[in-house]
Structure 1
């Protein structure tokens, strides 16, 4: 498909500065053809004798983009991520270390490949949480990619239909160039949104009768559909209605998730596995799974629509290497009419036959204690909704909610992501939160909760810590999930109006306090993506 006027303009603008650093935010609505813009820019860079790196947030996206690159360029792309074998990753490492010209696709770890001819970096879905390494060596692959492009004096493109507030703020101040794609490419149409109020309704495996009727209508019209719930497994807990026993992960003090097909109880935080008991261990009563996960939705749809092609896409599925390709091929070929999945469904997939997206629980994140929750929820809803109506048939988005009057949902429902983000930015500015302030999270982990509390209280009360100009400290307080794998997690939040002030405060802490002791392990997360 030839590029439209907006796409051509974006390509020309980026290619004006290929021998110097320039960060471009490519802000395009879902289905606007951002990938085609990436490929056109990459083709020019490769033709100039330099390599291109395309970073993706999810391994599940690599087969789709690899195929499109090979079709566009007539040559194989190099793929680098954790699911590749050691031999395959070593081959990519050796190839880019040579003087050859390559197009490399990878997740965040690909950023550390030893390129000798790198001429372009693209970060697709730049807002995505997967670009932040949350443990061990903590870093933002997006921000590090910008830094690497600056050091190499090459252009970088950050693409998203729902840009992060940080990137939008950088575009507003002129640090990033802001390019927009305002319309869907080709025959794609913006989908129609509707809210389904499920208050007081008896749901069938998570679905209301109205939602099931809408799904039936789309099946009769030969449409495909995506069903989104950001919770894998069959049920989020297993309990006994007679005595109140709940299957619990003792090291994390949180409910175990039921995985019915494996007959396993699994902790999604520490990985603890246990068999599902036949009866209540406490009283011998009958156990009841509560809440829905993607596995339960799949089971319900198989019962409601027998004979209809059905598949599931979540981390349990992609753990099996060949099953991912099989699921994606089934959707593209049309043999799969219904695809159930987690947030993986919201990330860049281009399924032209999808006419309906169903969001089972639009309320997740509405009332979170995390100040970023509204931003993350808005991004997830807009992204998953954007999978509908990309072909010739009109698209529809159905959101099930128990809070149809919530203003956040109405901002998304009645406006655009741009207006929604503008509203959030003004709220953040008024409250003095990022991107108008800088944060660091100091996390104390210990099997002894009192020891973790004591360390952070000592740091907060240390004159060397509090002497920093305009450095605010909040806490210490328990993490949103205060225990994991037998260790308590207590946090101290540092906030400063400037990066320089925050770094000065962090340096003082590091100079005067050990990060590790026999009892307590301290870690420092700069620009935390969440407060958990």
Structure 2
């Protein structure tokens, strides 16, 4: 028998278990193996190992999925690094990185190699379809001018498979597998800044070079991406394009389809059906898909011909996974680019302070786009409105409502931005002061008026709106604060003729909601958008010329040291939606803290000013990027148990820590109670990354030794929340 180390989804420190098989199995092979009383999927990590246990206790491999291509060594090295850096069991990290179809104990259907079609010499002698058959003629012209694959042909004519089969039977069509797609020239002409940025990245082809593409909002970063991508794709290599959120993909995919119609593309995000996601994953693995677009989990996609990585909106916190395997996709993307010896572009109008610091220390090359791509477009005029002494109508000041009225009469498109969905953030009794909190979390229940519900936005607990106060019986319950639903209702009363559309997680739950929204905006059938952070980034609405920001101060009251950075990015991104075409843009930000430096920097549209001041403050306190952090968290039915668990280990580990590592806490988390569990945390901090990881390893050893049946714990490296 040959013995193998196999990675399976179990919380073991090493992450690998030993199994036997009569033959040596190639590393990366998918198998089904017995574990406890069930059969589970696993990945062969090493064959020909020497067992460290009695061989009579070693179980055999049940099934070998030999028809599936093994996962490559580069992918296994990526997962080993991820598990090691984030201090997570290797088997569980592997399971987190695989699509659902490869975690099951049945064979995965293998995708057929893509076929490309073109008119052969006989076909070119035939008469083209008549002009009044527009779709049929477009299909014929595509076959005459290039070698498109069937998905691209279906975009031109829904009956493309049938027509191509008919023409092939007549001997007019040639089929073949193409190593590199034929790319049509771009209709967009890059300005000098864009040309310089694209040329710098292209010059680094075939070698690892990280670039920070800092471009003001509307400066055309996407066209720079596309120009570099076109060269890589034309050479037959693959491109990994990472986006922070799913809602950015519809508009981008439309642009991708227009620019790269003949390129086999895979789209990987959490709302893709499990079967389709597995197939796209395998197409990418086999090199069939050349352009891979996805959210953070797509960073783990095995790519044999990787030639370029693009991380758009690199500052976005959505790239950080906040549970289980707590990885940062942007940071892993940089590691992958180094592994693949290819360039990587990190793009943003408001780069993370970590990336900005690396650009100025020489680790990244800084590329700048300092003007808007549309020649007539200018940066918006930003006004900071002090509302401390102003009377508000459901969150709106009189100047704000006047601006909305005037812009509506002039035919402009307005965006009212409030990063809080629901009707109101709280419901309370005006007689006794009772507030309706979530029974499972230390959070207020949010009023959703149309659904007639109170909802917890943290654990999704829901209940019907109560008819009376449970403490005093008062039936006059008051909605406090403003959410997007209440703002929408207020605007419908203030501007009854305006066509208003609310855009938040509640209103865009269905698959086609975003496509319908873009269509209605392009048809000029919306006058005012009311939206949350979903509308703040990545979208390009040419008519949008007025942005109004309500309740901009909320995050500044947070204890999180990153709160000002996040608010600045949020305000710059949402401000950047205005004035991206001919119409001049205007932004009005209502605030009760008008003297805060964040608002001064936003008003000046000056990222450098903000970054320099914020980094000076971070340096003073040795905070990231000048120091490194890890969070040790514990949760239990009561906070006392969680705190004591961390206290006990802190005392034991203190004598073993490197001198450069300090321990802060433990203390209750800002939101103590979540989903009926109470949470505490402790931070490890050090200016030395290696020393920090040594300290985390010491903690892990003791956490595993001090297991407590009531306590769950986790480790978060480079935490993004406090």
Answering whether residue 344 of structure 2 is matched by residue 156 of structure 1, we say yes
Indicate the residue corresponding to 1:196 in structure 2: 385
Select 1:473's aligned residue among 641, 663, 673: 663
Which structure is richer in relative contact order (CA contacts within 8 A, separation 6 or more)? 1
Answering whether residue 259 of structure 2 is matched by residue 69 of structure 1, we say no
> For 1:513, what is the secondary structure of its paired residue?
helix
Contact 1:363–1:401, Cα closer than 8 Å, also in 2: yes
1: CA distance, partners of 2:656 / 2:399: 57
Contact 2:653–2:698, Cα closer than 8 Å, also in 1: no
Indicate the residue corresponding to 1:118 in structure 2: 306
Contact 2:206–2:342, Cα closer than 8 Å, also in 1: yes
The Cα offsets for residues 60-107 of structure 1, whole Å up to 9 and x where unpaired, read as: 110111111111122364321111112221221121122325212111
Answering whether residue 276 of structure 2 is matched by residue 91 of structure 1, we say no
Number of aligned residue pairs: give it. 531
> For 2:555, what is the secondary structure of its paired residue?
coil
Answering whether residue 581 of structure 2 is matched by residue 391 of structure 1, we say yes
2: CA distance, partners of 1:287 / 1:234: 14
Answering whether residue 459 of structure 2 is matched by residue 299 of structure 1, we say no
2: CA distance, partners of 1:25 / 1:3: 18
Indicate the residue corresponding to 1:24 in structure 2: 211
Answering whether residue 239 of structure 2 is matched by residue 52 of structure 1, we say yes
1: CA distance, partners of 2:318 / 2:661: 29
Superposition pairs of residues 257-276 of structure 1, within 5 angstroms: 257-276=446-465
The Cα offsets for residues 211-240 of structure 1, whole Å up to 9 and x where unpaired, read as: 000111111221101111111111000111
Indicate the residue corresponding to 2:412 in structure 1: 223
2: CA distance, partners of 1:179 / 1:358: 31
1: CA distance, partners of 2:258 / 2:455: 41
> Which shows bigger deviation, 450-459 or 121-130?
450-459
Indicate the residue corresponding to 2:498 in structure 1: 308
Select 1:211's aligned residue among 400, 403, 407: 400
Contact 1:46–1:101, Cα closer than 8 Å, also in 2: no
The Cα offsets for residues 486-521 of structure 1, whole Å up to 9 and x where unpaired, read as: 111101011000211110110111122228531111
Contact 2:431–2:474, Cα closer than 8 Å, also in 1: no
RMSD of the TM alignment (CA)? 1.4
> Which shows bigger deviation, 322-331 or 511-520?
511-520
Indicate the residue corresponding to 1:240 in structure 2: 429
2: CA distance, partners of 1:485 / 1:268: 11
> For 2:506, what is the secondary structure of its paired residue?
helix
Taking structure 2 as the reference length, what is the TM-score of the superposition? 0.72
> For 1:501, what is the secondary structure of its paired residue?
helix
Indicate the residue corresponding to 1:509 in structure 2: 699
Indicate the residue corresponding to 1:277 in structure 2: 466
Indicate the residue corresponding to 2:127 in structure 1: none
Superposition deviation, residue 289 in structure 1:
0.8
Superposition deviation, residue 465 in structure 1:
5.6
Contact 2:285–2:302, Cα closer than 8 Å, also in 1: yes
Indicate the residue corresponding to 1:129 in structure 2: 317
Indicate the residue corresponding to 1:403 in structure 2: 593
Superposition deviation, residue 242 in structure 1:
1.2
> Which shows bigger deviation, 50-59 or 510-519?
510-519
Contact 1:465–1:505, Cα closer than 8 Å, also in 2: no
Answering whether residue 666 of structure 2 is matched by residue 454 of structure 1, we say no
1: CA distance, partners of 2:249 / 2:675: 32
Superposition deviation, residue 445 in structure 1:
0.7
Indicate the residue corresponding to 2:82 in structure 1: none
- The 3 A distance-change label for structure 1 pair 466 and 317 is farther
2: CA distance, partners of 1:415 / 1:336: 28
2: CA distance, partners of 1:317 / 1:415: 31
1: CA distance, partners of 2:239 / 2:318: 21
Contact 2:545–2:579, Cα closer than 8 Å, also in 1: yes
Indicate the residue corresponding to 1:519 in structure 2: 710
The Cα offsets for residues 258-300 of structure 1, whole Å up to 9 and x where unpaired, read as: 1111111100111101011223233132111111011111111
2: CA distance, partners of 1:511 / 1:464: 13
- The 3 A distance-change label for structure 1 pair 516 and 417 is farther
2: CA distance, partners of 1:233 / 1:67: 30
Indicate the residue corresponding to 2:612 in structure 1: 422
Q: Larger Rg: 1 or 2?
A: 2
Taking structure 1 as the reference length, what is the TM-score of the superposition? 0.97
> For 1:306, what is the secondary structure of its paired residue?
coil
2: CA distance, partners of 1:346 / 1:253: 28
1: CA distance, partners of 2:443 / 2:693: 35
Select 2:440's aligned residue among 232, 248, 251: 251
The Cα offsets for residues 27-60 of structure 1, whole Å up to 9 and x where unpaired, read as: 0000000000011111111001011111111111
Contact 2:467–2:475, Cα closer than 8 Å, also in 1: no
Indicate the residue corresponding to 1:172 in structure 2: 360
> For 1:133, what is the secondary structure of its paired residue?
coil
The runs of 5 or more residues in structure 2 that have no matched partner are 1-187
Indicate the residue corresponding to 2:476 in structure 1: 286
Contact 2:632–2:715, Cα closer than 8 Å, also in 1: yes
